[in-house]
Amino acid sequence: MINESCINGFILLGFTGQPQLEMIISGVVFFCYTVALTGNMAIILLSFLDEHLQTPMYFFLRNLAILDLCYTTNIVPQMLVNIWGQDKRITFGGCAFQLFNDVTLCIVECILLAVMSYDRFIAVCKPLHYMTVMSAQLCQALVVMAWVISVINCLILSPYAMSLPRCGNHHLDHFFCEISAMVKIACVDTTAMEVTIFVVCLTMGLVPLLLILVSYGFITVAVLKIKSVTGRQKAFGTCSSHLIVVSIFYGTLIYMYIQPGNSPNQNEGKFLSIFYSIITPSLNPLIYTLRNKKFKGAMKRLTRKEKHSMNTTRH
């Protein structure tokens, strides 16, 4: 048993009341984490090594893969340690680090998906000027902008959430240090904090979503003007993977955050968190690579090079 009077941190409850469900969830999470690690690492390595993937689209995709790796690694190892072990604790510093990363990475992903939709807009609507407009300097600046905006917003939310008085309550009804779970255990009026979270989430979620919708509105108009059926299919094909990823990420996020904060079904929120923070990052590389001929070609070229180098070494 944990001596709660000596706790210097928090107890992550997760699904402790349902041990069988907890073990099933841990198996699914471990599998998804393995897929996320393998798939995203493959995207990162291929986009670095293959000369055919040195374009803005794959630059942003590589950044999304790095982001997804960080997202899952921020949550899964601690989650599995707590589920598979007897100790459900996380230190105060560990919780603060996890919370900071979660808020930052979530906002970066929202902005990065909007940046990727702008990249697709230029590629479809202004193909002759694509490489001029989407220069390496602009691509790097857009990614840096996403991180700077995210860190600034996180510096508003995270310290505020961590400093709320808890009156000795160390039990977080979640499997990681999620900001809404932190607010729920506060023993003071959290209206100001909840309004702050709502404003930041609305701004950082809604503005990128509107930019995505506007970009795809222009893309749809441009594609419908193409007379060739093959041309239309090719144009839609360059955007379909990104649209699927946006739909999954934003669909889950919007559904999760329109739920009332005092909903009696807390497990639903936990399942949704698992979906958007663990399952979605494992789906992203599959969606992008399975539907992308250039990635398949890059994989084949890399495999041939490996076989050739092995044969050369043997001889």
Contact 182, 163 (CB under 8 A): no
Q: How many angstroms separate the CA atoms of 77 and 81, rounded?
A: 6
The residue to which tokens 């329109």 are assigned: 258
Q: Residue 10: beta bridge partners? A: 90
Query: Which residue, chain included where needed, has tokens 């969830």?
Result: 25
The predicted structure's pLDDT at residue 4 = 44
**Exposed, middle or buried by CB within 10 Å (0-12, 13-18, 19+), for 272?**
middle
| pLDDT value for 6 | 44
Q: Let me know: does 61 contact 11? Beta carbons within 8 Å.
A: no
Q: What is the pLDDT of residue 66?
A: 93
DSSP one-letter code for 9: E
d(CA 158, CA 19): 31
Spatial CA neighbour of 233 closest among 242, 221, 224? 224
CB 11 within 8 A of CB 85: no
CA distances from 175 to 112, 232, 239 (A): 26, 45, 34
Q: Does domain 9-259+267-295 have CATH number 3.30.365.10?
A: no
pLDDT tens track of the chain, all 315 residues?
444 444 578 888 888 777 788 888 889 999 999 999 998 998 888 888 877 778 898 899 999 999 999 999 999 998 888 888 878 888 888 899 999 999 999 899 999 999 999 999 998 888 888 889 999 999 999 999 999 999 999 998 888 888 888 888 888 888 888 888 888 888 888 888 888 888 888 888 889 999 999 999 998 888 888 877 777 777 777 788 888 888 888 887 777 665 544 444 567 778 888 887 888 888 888 887 766 677 777 767 766 666 555 556 555
pLDDT at 249: 84
What pLDDT is recorded for position 315?
Answer: 55
- Torsional sign, CA 307, 308, 314, 315: positive
Identify each DSSP E strand in 159-243 by its residue range.
171-172
Strand partners, 91: 9
pLDDT at 37: 92
Contacts of 302 (CB under 8 A, 6+ apart): 46, 49, 50
- Any idea where the domains of the chain sit in the sequence? 9-259+267-295
